[in-house]
């Protein structure tokens, strides 16, 4: 799936109540059963969109799971200024990964 396909998909979800509910359900699942690990920020870019007072950030990450090989993930997430503090390209972040879908994750903040 190319970048523009992802953008179109995200736009459809934003307009679709079903898409919003699916995104909410995904976030709740990751909050409840996500596995915490570290990831390296290969790149990050603000899209210019603000959702819920946060900045929409596109991340390219290398995830370092406790078991198994490192892998690449692209994700987009709304983040507030406080959560973005300390996050920079080349740095490590803490992420929570959906145990059922390793490509689905949430960035929690800069790794300490």
pLDDT of res. 48 = 80
Average pLDDT over residues 50-68: 89
pLDDT of res. 7 = 43
Average pLDDT over residues 50-61: 86
**Model confidence over 89-99: pLDDT tens digits?**
999 999 999 99
Q: What is the DSSP letter of 89?
A: T
Q: What is the H or E stretch that residue 12 is in?
A: helix 3-15
Residue 51 CA to residue 39 CA, distance in Å, equals 24
Arch. (CATH architecture) of 34-110 = Beta Barrel (2.40)
Question: In this prediction, what percent of the chain has a pLDDT beyond 70?
Answer: 81
Average pLDDT over residues 48-74: 90
Cα 69 to Cα 16, 19, 64, 75, 102: the distances in Å are 36, 31, 7, 19, 12
Average pLDDT over residues 60-79: 95
Give the pLDDT band (50/70/90) at residue 4: very low
Residue 39 CA to residue 95 CA, distance in Å, equals 7
Q: Identify the residue whose tokens are 């990450």.
A: 61
């Amino acid at each position: 799936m190319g970048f523009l396909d992802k953008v179109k998909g995200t736009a459809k979800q934003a307009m679709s109540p079903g898409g919003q509910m699916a995104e909410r359900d995904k976030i709740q699942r990751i909050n409840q059963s996500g596995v915490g690990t570290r990831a390296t920020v290969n790149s990050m870019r603000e899209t210019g969109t603000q959702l819920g007072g946060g900045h929409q950030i596109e991340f390219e990450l290398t995830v370092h799971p406790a078991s198994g090989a490192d892998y690449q993930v692209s994700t987009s997430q709304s983040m507030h200024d406080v959560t973005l503090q300390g996050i920079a390209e080349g740095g490590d972040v803490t992420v929570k990964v959906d145990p059922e879908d390793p490509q689905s994750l949430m960035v929690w903040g800069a790794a300490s």
